[in-house]
């Protein structure tokens, strides 16, 4: 887990870095917004912990700017600004959580864990295979960056196949998984959806192979 700590109070920063490194988290601590920009340009992080009063500007304004290009990276604001209006503004600006100083480090740790767990789940909800990207949260599929138009059941079937790819998805597992999502599918309907999907994937570099009596495999074809 990789954290970016934006905090100009050297004592707090030092303590948090020591503590989080003991948790085996990778922490990069910076004391200015400019250094925060540089750190994020360099590599993605799982969470930003952001102080607001920083020597080269206001953390909230920086957060608003960040949210124009990055809506996903979780940000936890850590600040002495404790008025309700400050917290509301922080959350509205795009903070995922807000903790007021002075704080209990155990509480901060717990909140960091919640946010990164959530981010982890979001990541799991985006699966890539070959030229295909499947975005569970958004109900969207791209092939080489181009959207693929699918009906809801086709989307779910493809999601199951891509998560397992290039391994076999037994037909029974496919039907059961759809039933869990309240998308009832009969045995023969499963075949219909798979064959429709297969048609839609034509020319995409991906193919669904049927293993008679077993199930389906999504395979990436060698591209010419
Ligand atoms: Ca500060």
For residue 72, the CA-to-ligand 1 centroid distance in Å is 24
Residue 132 has pLDDT above 70, yes or no: yes
For residue 86, the CA-to-ligand 1 centroid distance in Å is 15
107-111 own/partner pairs: CB under 8 Å, 24+ apart = 108/16, 108/49, 108/76, 108/78, 109/19, 109/23, 111/76
Domain range annotation of the chain: 2-126, 130-220
Orientation of helix 187-200 relative to helix 171-180, angle to 10°: 100
For residue 84, the CA-to-ligand 1 centroid distance in Å is 19
Residue 122 has pLDDT above 90, yes or no: no
For residue 111, the CA-to-ligand 1 centroid distance in Å is 20
CA–CA–CA angle 48, 7, 100 (5° rounding): 80
pLDDT value of position 206: 92
Work out the pLDDT band at 223, boundaries 50, 70, 90. Answer: low
SS3 204: coil
pLDDT value of position 173: 87
pLDDT value of position 182: 66
pLDDT value of position 217: 94
Residue 54 has pLDDT above 90, yes or no: yes
Weakest mean pLDDT among 32-36, 57-61, 118-122:
118-122
For residue 69, the CA-to-ligand 1 centroid distance in Å is 24
For residue 104, the CA-to-ligand 1 centroid distance in Å is 17
Asked if 149 and 202 count as a contact pair (C-beta separation under 8 A), the reply is: no
Work out the pLDDT band at 15, boundaries 50, 70, 90. Answer: very high
pLDDT value of position 224: 54
For residue 157, the CA-to-ligand 1 centroid distance in Å is 49
For residue 170, the CA-to-ligand 1 centroid distance in Å is 55
Q: Decide yes or no: CATH 3.40.50.2300 for domain 2-126.
A: yes
Domains 2-126 and 130-220 share a fold: no
pLDDT in tens, 162-213: 988 989 999 888 888 777 766 677 778 888 889 999 999 998 899 999 998 8
As residues whose CB is below 5 A from the ion ligand 1, the structure lists 8, 51, 53
Mean pLDDT of the chain: 90
Mean pLDDT of 76-81: 96
Class of domain 130-220: mainly alpha
For residue 125, the CA-to-ligand 1 centroid distance in Å is 35
CA-to-CA dists, residue 157 to 125, 128, 129, 135, 137, angstroms = 14, 15, 15, 13, 15
Cα–Cα distance, 59 to 72 (Å, whole number): 17
């Amino acid at each position: 887990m990789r954290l970016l700590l934006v905090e100009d109070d050297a004592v707090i920063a030092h303590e948090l870095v020591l503590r989080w490194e003991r948790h085996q988290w990778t922490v990069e601590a910076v004391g200015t917004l400019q250094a925060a920009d540089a750190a994020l340009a360099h590599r993605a992080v799982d969470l930003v912990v952001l102080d607001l009063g920083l020597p080269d500007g206001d953390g909230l304004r920086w957060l608003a700017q960040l949210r124009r290009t990055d809506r996903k990276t979780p940000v936890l604001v850590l600040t002495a600004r404790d008025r309700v209006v400050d917290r509301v503004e922080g959350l509205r600006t795009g903070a995922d959580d807000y903790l007021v100083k002075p704080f209990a480090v155990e509480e901060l740790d717990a909140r960091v864990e919640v946010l990164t767990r959530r981010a982890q789940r979001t990541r799991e909800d985006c699966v890539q295979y070959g030229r295909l990207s499947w975005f569970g949260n958004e109900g969207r599929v791209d092939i080489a960056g181009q959207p693929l138009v699918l009906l809801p059941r086709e989307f779910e079937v493809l999601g199951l196949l891509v998560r397992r790819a290039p391994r076999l998805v037994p037909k029974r597992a496919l039907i059961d998984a759809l039933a869990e999502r309240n998308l009832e599918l009969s045995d023969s309907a499963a075949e219909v959806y798979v064959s429709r999907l297969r048609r839609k994937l034509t020319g995409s570099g991906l193919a669904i192979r049927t293993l008679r009596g077993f199930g389906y495999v999504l395979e990436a074809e060698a591209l010419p």
